[in-house]
Structure 1
Amino acid sequence: MTMTDRTENDAVIEAAITSVEPAALQPGTVYGFKFRDHVKVVDLTGDEYLDEPRRKTGTVTVDDVTSFAQYYAKHADPDSEVYTDLDAGTVTAVLDAHTSDVDVPRWQDHRLVLRMKPTEPWKTWIGKNRIALPQLAFAEHIEDNLVDIASEPVPAAEMLEIAQTFQAKTQVSYASGTRLASGDITLAYEETTDASGGAKGKLAVPKAFAIGIAPFDDVDPYKISVRLRYRIQSNKLSMIYVMDRPEDVVRDAVKSVVTKVQDATGITVMRGVPS
């Protein structure tokens, strides 16, 4: 048999195969067809071939406890499990978790995640925490976020006055700073404008103030102490504020949200990450 004969035979076989009337296949089944020297597989087991999915799958992410409780109540069953990762700020429900019967495993791929997003005030304050700010930038930060400042130990009105003084004293040369026994700061400066004639002065700054902000929407504001530091380089002043252990505030806030999840759903939340 020549190569030409074999090619013609192949053409006849293919023509015969393609001339066969198509047959209806049953969705949800895997078919195997012998084709020449191999088996061709047709997999119709996907949900796209069915009128509806065979089971619930996917991960739903919500932003608050109310939404978590609502979705959980609709889709959970007695074998559902819930975990929290305190560092990541998440609560994860495995709605189709394994049953207690070792012979009845489940897929564990229908999940609900509560992702705690930082509030805008929290992002604003944490974003400049421990960063040296030029005096004008510091003053603007205080003025723009005055509503977050707690009444004690330094009221918002006094912090506003300090901010306005910083804004007015941009044309000065800072010589030194002194931390008093009380912890407050005194900054010595000299006017550099011609009109002032080199007048000298001192600027008093408190050692600390406090802010009241919530890390997440589902928790009450926390009162956080904010300590003040200064830096003088080339007669230019920079101010630094240091929030008191914000990471502890976040972890405590996550625990508070977890408690609210437990109260809203009646479940016990485990610490950890599901497989």
Structure 2
Amino acid sequence: MTKTETDSALLESAAQPLLNLAASPDLQDLKLLCDKAGSEITLVTNLAEALGLPASIPVFIDRQSGRPISLKSLLDEWRTSPERKSGSATVNVLESFINLTKRHATSHSVIFADTNWKSPSLTAIIDYHQNESGGPADNCKHRIKYPFPLTEEWSAWVANNGKVLNQTQFAEFIEDHRADLASPHDDEVTYWQELLGGKMAYPNELQMLSRGLKIHAETKASSAVTLATGEGEIAWEETHTARDTKGGKIVVPSLFMISVAPFYQGEKARVPVRLRYRLPQGGGAVAWFYQLYRPDIYITEQVIRDLDRAASETDLPAFQGSPEMSS
């Protein structure tokens, strides 16, 4: 017997006493009949006016179990559009960030700026919490993000910043990026030498240094420092016939300048760089590394300028930091 036939038989059996007044009714069957007839969809009213809930919630009341059953999953199956705006759009230029933010912004939208100099970004949160005191929270799930496009040149200098390189690696790096080397202005020479100490090098000196290092890539070295100028001097014990014009000695400056645009299609930043080398005790292979002086300054200044521009053109409040909710 099918379920439909079983239900029909059950209903007929339960209703039979009502049709035959001489028979005693089966109360249990009557209760089952009433329970089946009583299952329904009803509305649960939000009497407490709890924040974040609608005024009423539709539920299915199963009279047999006495339990309410949520209809949300059933209703969501029939949605022709999302319940709310959500997701993150990523743009490649500041103008697109501003225009797209203006397109979706509400009176509660905000902009956050991440000033981390290695991965700076602007993020507009469209559905941010209401700004009235005690106002309801929102989902913070609809966002527009602008990750600042760092140039390959800047990223290359940052990637090797403070990294120990052998002679060949350092020489090749300087040769590959010699277009980024900048001639220091007279005022820069005076300022940076007084602030950081040592001798400022010109691009041709760095290129000569890198070529000399290639010659001495397999030789033993010893080191000396000229205190009056801050220059370092490396002398090599030759193991082959290749020698430079100074008998195997190379003067090593302690500072140089680079001119690199941190951001794609952005202005170039002039950054002083400290040059360092290390020799093992007793001589041997030279280890090289450089240190960009405060590269975060150039990134942070640009991010703040663009944050101010975005806030002004979208008429939205702006903050440095990150929101309390992740995307």
Q: TM-score range by the shorter chain?
A: 0.7 to 0.9
Q: Is the 8 A contact 1:171 1:193 kept in 2?
A: no
Q: Which residue of 2 aligns with 1:242?
A: 291
Point out the more displaced range, 55-64 or 165-174: 55-64
Residue 119 (str. 1) matches residue 168 (str. 2)? no
Q: CA deviation at 1:194?
A: 6.3
Q: CA deviation at 1:104?
A: 6.4
Q: Which residue of 2 aligns with 1:37?
A: 65
Distance 1:101-1:148 versus aligned 2 partners, 3 A rule: same
Percent same amino acid among aligned pairs?
A: 28
Residue 188 (str. 1) matches residue 235 (str. 2)? yes
> What count of residue pairs does the alignment treat as equivalent?
256
Residue 83 (str. 1) matches residue 112 (str. 2)? yes
Pairing of 1:85-164 with structure 2 (within 5 A): 85-87=114-116, 89-101=120-132, 105=136, 107=138, 108-152=140-184, 154-164=201-211
Q: Is the 8 A contact 1:136 1:167 kept in 2?
A: yes
Q: Is the 8 A contact 2:109 2:316 kept in 1?
A: no
Residue 229 (str. 1) matches residue 268 (str. 2)? no
- Return the letter of the residue paired with 2:293: D
Q: Which has the larger radius of gyration?
A: 2
Q: Deviations over 1:188-226 (max 9, x none)?
A: 112112687xx9521112221111223333742221111
Pairing of 1:41-52 with structure 2 (within 5 A): 41-44=70-73, 49-52=78-81
Take 1:98 and 1:265, find their aligned partners in 2: how far apart are those partners?
18
Distance 1:185-1:44 versus aligned 2 partners, 3 A rule: same
Take 2:80 and 2:142, find their aligned partners in 1: how far apart are those partners?
20
Which consecutive unaligned segments of at least 5 residues does structure 2 have? 9-40, 42-56, 185-199
Q: Is the 8 A contact 1:176 1:188 kept in 2?
A: yes
Q: Is the 8 A contact 1:216 1:253 kept in 2?
A: no
Which consecutive unaligned segments of at least 5 residues does structure 1 have? 1-7, 18-24
| SS of the residue 1:255 aligns to | helix
Q: Is the 8 A contact 1:147 1:156 kept in 2?
A: no
Take 1:97 and 1:195, find their aligned partners in 2: how far apart are those partners?
68
Q: CA deviation at 1:89?
A: 2.5
| SS of the residue 1:138 aligns to | helix
Q: Is the 8 A contact 1:180 1:186 kept in 2?
A: no
Q: Deviations over 1:132-155 (max 9, x none)?
A: 211111000001111211122544
Take 2:322 and 2:279, find their aligned partners in 1: how far apart are those partners?
47
Residue 258 (str. 1) matches residue 289 (str. 2)? no
Q: CA deviation at 1:113?
A: 2.1
Take 1:13 and 1:45, find their aligned partners in 2: how far apart are those partners?
23
